[in-house]
Structures are given as structure tokens and as C-alpha cells.
């Protein structure tokens, strides 16, 4: 059976992943929030994607996201390091 409500991609090294329609829309919204530097909604995206419990107070996350994002702004995708970003979240006790 083919899932028409989801997309699938493969990460390296060859880990298949499936993104369902609801999460696909949230990810698209998250990109828009990032481009618009809407840190409140970026923090809420963590909840909507299930990375944080629905009752999590995202207020402490907002300044950390802003600091991390502004430090990464203007860098190309080749320079983006997810491990560094999560390390910064961990340093802010947010991961």
C-alpha cells in the first residue's frame, strides 16, 4: 500500500523516515517562522512536532532560540551543523 498522506526521505546513512501530512505542514510552518524570525512560533513548533510536551512553558526557550538563530543567520546550509545547534540548546538547559 502506498501512503498518499505522507512523504518519505532517507537520511545518511540510509535511515528511512516518514513524515505524515500534519507534520509536513508543521515543518513548512516552522521554516516560515524561521525565515520571519518568529521565535515564539518557532518555540511552539517544538511542541506541535512533539519534541516538547503540550503543557511545556516555551517562554524560557524563546531567548535561547533567538540567540542561537541570530548566531547562525547568514551562514550557508553547508555551514549549518545540527549538532552545534542542539549543543547550544543543551547549554541553555533546553534539550
Residue 46 lies in a domain: yes
Residue 1 lies in a domain: no
Name which of 3-12, 17-26, 30-39, 66-75 the model is least confident about. Answer: 3-12
In this prediction, residues 83-91 reach a mean pLDDT of 70
Number of domains observed in the structure of the chain:
1
| DSSP 3-state of 16 | strand
Quick check: 13 pLDDT over 80? Answer: no
The percent of residues above 70 in pLDDT, for the chain, comes to 59
Residue 87 lies in a domain: yes
Nearest to 49 by CA among 86, 23, 13: 23
- Report field, pTM of the whole predicted structure over 0.75: no
Looking at residue 10, its pLDDT comes to: 47
Site of grid cell 551562514: 75
The residue segments making up the domain with residue 71 are 6-91
Quick check: 1 pLDDT over 60? Answer: no
For the chain, the first-to-last Cα distance in angstroms comes to: 37
In this prediction, residues 12-21 reach a mean pLDDT of 65
Residue 86 lies in a domain: yes
Phi, psi of 16 (to 5 degrees): -70, 140
Amino acid at each position: 500500500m502506498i501512503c498518499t498522506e505522507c512523504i518519505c526521505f532517507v537520511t545518511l546513512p540510509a535511515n528511512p523516515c516518514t513524515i505524515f501530512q500534519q507534520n509536513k505542514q508543521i515543518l513548512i510552518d516552522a521554516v516560515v517562522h524561521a525565515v520571519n524570525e518568529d521565535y515564539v512560533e518557532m518555540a511552539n513548533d517544538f511542541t506541535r512536532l512533539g519534541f516538547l510536551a503540550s503543557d511545556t512553558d516555551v517562554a524560557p526557550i524563546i531567548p535561547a532560540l533567538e540567540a542561537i538563530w541570530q548566531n547562525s543567520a547568514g551562514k550557508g546550509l553547508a555551514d549549518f551543523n545540527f549538532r552545534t545547534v542542539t549543543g547550544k540548546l543543551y547549554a541553555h538547559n533546553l534539550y
